[in-house]
Amino acid sequence: MNSSATRFRKRIYGLPEQAARVCLVCPDFKYNIREGALVGTGSMQPTPTCCCYRFRLRYRIGENPKVWILDPALRCRHDQSKIPHTYREDEPCVFRPGVDWSDGKTLASTVIPWLAMWLMYYEFWHATGEWLGGGEHPEVPIDSSESDNQSNEPE
């Protein structure tokens, strides 16, 4: 068989491995794996001068991961009506769906650092009024069933 004809299958990281890797970068990450979904909460402080944020992560293989900020609540600047690069007030847009994320990547090396960067730019935005994080934000319809699931914290 010609070696150029050999196909390699993309590795997909299972939910237990994804959770273990997130725990390495966010030691207080608490999670459950139920009904094929990894759901957990943790905290991060993007820089020594930034706030410490509690976040919620939900991931199911074959779907895009979602993150929400639980505490402190994200808020608009006094002079602007919307927080940049968010789907909802508490759901930051940290990557381009279908472009930046695939099941062959780990949450710990992508979504978690992307969230930290987003939070850093969020704080810069509060200080300056200018979003310095770049990126593009797709206009995506909000799935009301997902917001209903938002309060389901890991036990």
| Domain locations in the chain as residue ranges | 11-129
pLDDT over 90 percentage in the chain:
71
d(CA 123, CA 100): 23
- Of residues 55 and 143, more confidently modeled: 55
State the Cα–Cα distance between residues 148 and 77, nearest whole angstrom: 26
Higher per-residue confidence, 98 vs 59:
59
Tokens of 26: 């966010």
Question: 83 or 140, which is more confident?
Answer: 83
Q: Under a CB-based contact definition with an 8 Å cutoff, are residues 126 and 77 in contact?
A: yes
**pTM (2 d.p.):** 0.83
d(CA 12, CA 155): 26
pLDDT for the residue 135:
77
In tens, the pLDDT along 109-138 reads 999 999 999 999 999 999 999 999 887 765
- What is the pLDDT, as a whole number, of residue 45? 97
pLDDT of residue 77: 93
- pLDDT band for 24, please (50, 70, 90 cuts): very high
Helix axes 111-128, 15-25, angle to 10 degrees: 50
**DSSP letter assigned to residue 108:** G
Please say if the pLDDT value at position 146 is more than 50: no
